[in-house]
């Protein structure tokens, strides 16, 4: 669906996130006669009410009134945070209501844009930023956008001046997208967001939609650890994190069997970040970036915040913020980045329905000094850690467990 197809339709926006709020003013400029409604699950603040009035939005429908109002619209432009699996949405679709999103409309409007789309459970923001940085350092004009926090419509006025669009896409955004980017990247795939997708398998299916509609001239860049997840002709797939592509081992980056440059002295740490770098190198080579230039670019890359971000050091203690780790696999990867040092780990937060036993066993095995459990899922994590200690040969005697109600403690 393109913007012109909204002309004469009864249109509503659902949600006031960055995607919708960046797109709405442009839509009103293109279709001045359109007066969209706003659906919002929670009541609007005074500033939000002022914003809707300024942008000619009416009516405003909030909370429980939304379900019965959906049938009154032809098209609903939905924020990514609104699950497409909600019963009221499925019911409205059965009545012929069309649901779309700002990012879906962007792809429909910009079919000629050269796009590199990145997804994965973890590492997609870092990988997207690395790709954009490597391409920019080679002299290309690049837009870094999408789920990384820069909405695609925020760049719209100058889109033709970009050589490449690097677009991070979440599972929420991909759930209803049908696109064929020039390059599609998968960093990894682990269980997450079961509450939004309703099941782990549906989450996987939605993530992998990025590869479902790829045209024959598109290329897929896949972490070799997850090679069985994507079904495409072999000629369309480039693997990384393996000896058949870019990898990092023995203190070096390798391209197949060629040792290309040392991995020491990089501004990032952790095996998972070296894997992200291998994904970025694969894409850079694919679009013609020289490897000498890529090496220099990697060394000047500035890591994103909240990802093994060193906050400071005091009395010999290093304080690290890795709060973006919201699944057990990424938490363990962060711990391994500091192996050989006594680690005190603050662990817990929102309950996403994760399984904690494997992480607990690994933390006891590597003899983490202490684990402070907190957040909504603290009891589940503590129970898994206690079970792991009991099963350990030494009873997990070297790991302290410190339950906490909140950070104030």
Q: pLDDT for 109-122, tens place per residue? A: 999 999 999 999 99
Inform me whether the pLDDT recorded for 353 exceeds 90: no
Q: pLDDT band at 161, cuts 50/70/90?
A: confident
How many Cβ atoms sit within 10 Å of the Cβ of residue 163? 14
The residues spanned by each domain of the chain are 3-100, 110-299, 309-403
Inform me whether the pLDDT recorded for 251 exceeds 80: yes
Inform me whether the pLDDT recorded for 96 exceeds 70: yes
Inform me whether the pLDDT recorded for 154 exceeds 90: no
* CB-based contacts of 408, cutoff 8 Å, min separation 6: none
Question: What does the pLDDT average to over 334-341?
Answer: 89
Give the H or E element holding residue 239.
strand 237-240
Report the alpha-carbon distance of residue 175 to residue 173 in Å, rounded. Answer: 6
Cα–Cα distance list, 332 to 276, 319, 336, 345 (Å): 16, 17, 6, 10
Assigned token pair, 304: 């994103």
pLDDT on residue 193: 93
Q: pLDDT band at 150, cuts 50/70/90?
A: very high
Q: pLDDT band at 350, cuts 50/70/90?
A: confident
pLDDT on residue 88: 98
For the chain, state the CA radius of gyration.
23
pLDDT on residue 214: 98
Assigned token pair, 207: 């993530």
> Which fold is adopted by the domain 110-299?
3.40.1190
CB 103 within 8 A of CB 146: yes
CB 169 within 8 A of CB 207: no
Coil, strand or helix: which one is 147? coil
pLDDT on residue 75: 99
**For all residues of the chain together, what is the average pLDDT?**
94
CATH for 3-100, options being 3.40.30.10, 3.40.640.10, 3.40.50.720, 3.90.550.60: 3.40.50.720
CB 169 within 8 A of CB 177: yes
- Counting residues of the chain whose pLDDT is more than 90, the rounded percentage is 88
CB 197 within 8 A of CB 174: no
DSSP single-letter state for residue 330: H
Inform me whether the pLDDT recorded for 333 exceeds 70: yes
Question: What does the pLDDT average to over 163-189?
Answer: 98
Give the H or E element holding residue 119.
strand 115-119
Question: What does the pLDDT average to over 179-206?
Answer: 96
pLDDT on residue 185: 99
Report the alpha-carbon distance of residue 388 to residue 50 in Å, rounded. Answer: 53
Report the alpha-carbon distance of residue 271 to residue 278 in Å, rounded. Answer: 11
Report the alpha-carbon distance of residue 346 to residue 332 in Å, rounded. Answer: 12
* Three-point CA angle 258, 237, 162, nearest 5°: 90
What CATH architecture is 309-403? Alpha-Beta Complex (3.90)
Inform me whether the pLDDT recorded for 9 exceeds 80: yes
Inform me whether the pLDDT recorded for 157 exceeds 60: no
HSE at residue 314, side-chain half, CA atoms within 13 A, is 4
Q: What is the pLDDT of residues 362-380, one digit of tens each?
A: 999 988 999 999 999 999 9
Closest CA to 147 of 179, 173, 186: 173
Inform me whether the pLDDT recorded for 159 exceeds 70: no
Q: pLDDT band at 396, cuts 50/70/90?
A: confident
Which single residue is written with the structure tokens 């907190």?
374
Q: pLDDT band at 145, cuts 50/70/90?
A: very high
DSSP single-letter state for residue 196: H
Per the confidence metrics, is the pTM higher than 0.85?
Answer: yes
Inform me whether the pLDDT recorded for 266 exceeds 90: yes
CB 274 within 8 A of CB 310: no
Inform me whether the pLDDT recorded for 247 exceeds 70: yes
Report the alpha-carbon distance of residue 359 to residue 371 in Å, rounded. Answer: 12
Inform me whether the pLDDT recorded for 406 exceeds 80: no
Assigned token pair, 30: 């293109």
Question: What does the pLDDT average to over 55-68?
Answer: 95
């Amino acid at each position: 669906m393109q913007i012109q197809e909204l002309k004469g339709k009864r249109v509503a926006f659902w949600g006031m996130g960055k995607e919708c709020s960046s797109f709405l003013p442009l839509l009103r400029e293109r279709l001045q006669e359109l007066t969209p409604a706003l659906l919002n699950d929670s009541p609007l603040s005074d500033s939000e009410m002022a914003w809707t009035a300024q942008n000619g939005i009416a009516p405003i429908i909030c909370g429980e009134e939304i379900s019965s109002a959906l049938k009154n619209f032809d098209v609903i432009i939905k924020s990514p945070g609104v699950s497409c699996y909600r019963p009221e949405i499925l019911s409205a679709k059965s009545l012929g209501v069309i649901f779309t999103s700002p990012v879906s409309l962007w792809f429909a409007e910009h079919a000629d844009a050269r796009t590199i789309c990145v997804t994965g459970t973890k590492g997609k923001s870092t990988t997207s930023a690395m790709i954009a940085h490597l391409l920019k350092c080679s002299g290309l004009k690049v837009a870094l956008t999408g789920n990384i926090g820069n909405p695609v419509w925020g760049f719209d006025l100058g889109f033709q001046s970009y050589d490449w669009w690097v677009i991070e896409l979440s599972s929420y955004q991909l759930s209803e997208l049908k696109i064929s980017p020039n390059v599609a990247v998968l960093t990894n795939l682990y269980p997450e967001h079961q509450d939004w997708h309703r099941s782990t398998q549906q989450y996987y299916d939605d993530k992998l939609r990025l590869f479902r509609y790829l045209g024959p001239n598109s290329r897929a860049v896949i972490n070799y650890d997850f090679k069985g997840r994507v079904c495409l002709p072999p000629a369309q797939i480039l693997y990384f994190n393996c000896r058949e592509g870019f990898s990092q081992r023995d203190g070096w980056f390798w391209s197949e069997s060629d040792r290309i440059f040392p991995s020491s002295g990089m501004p990032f740490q952790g095996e998972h970040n070296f894997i992200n770098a291998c994904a970025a190198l694969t894409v850079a080579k694919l679009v013609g970036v020289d490897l000498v230039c890529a090496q220099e670019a990697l060394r000047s890359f500035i890591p994103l915040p909240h990802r093994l971000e060193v906050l400071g050091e005091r009395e010999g203690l290093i304080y690290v913020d890795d709060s973006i780790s919201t699944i057990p696999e990424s938490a363990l990867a962060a711990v391994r980045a500091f192996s050989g040092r006594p680690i005190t780990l603050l662990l817990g937060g929102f309950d996403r329905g994760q399984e904690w036993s494997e992480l607990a066993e690994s933390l006891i095995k590597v003899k983490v000094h202490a684990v402070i459990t907190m957040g909504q899922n603290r009891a589940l994590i503590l129970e898994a850690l206690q079970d792991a200690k009991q099963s350990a040969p030494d009873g997990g005697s070297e790991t302290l467990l410190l339950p906490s109600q909140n950070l104030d403690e």
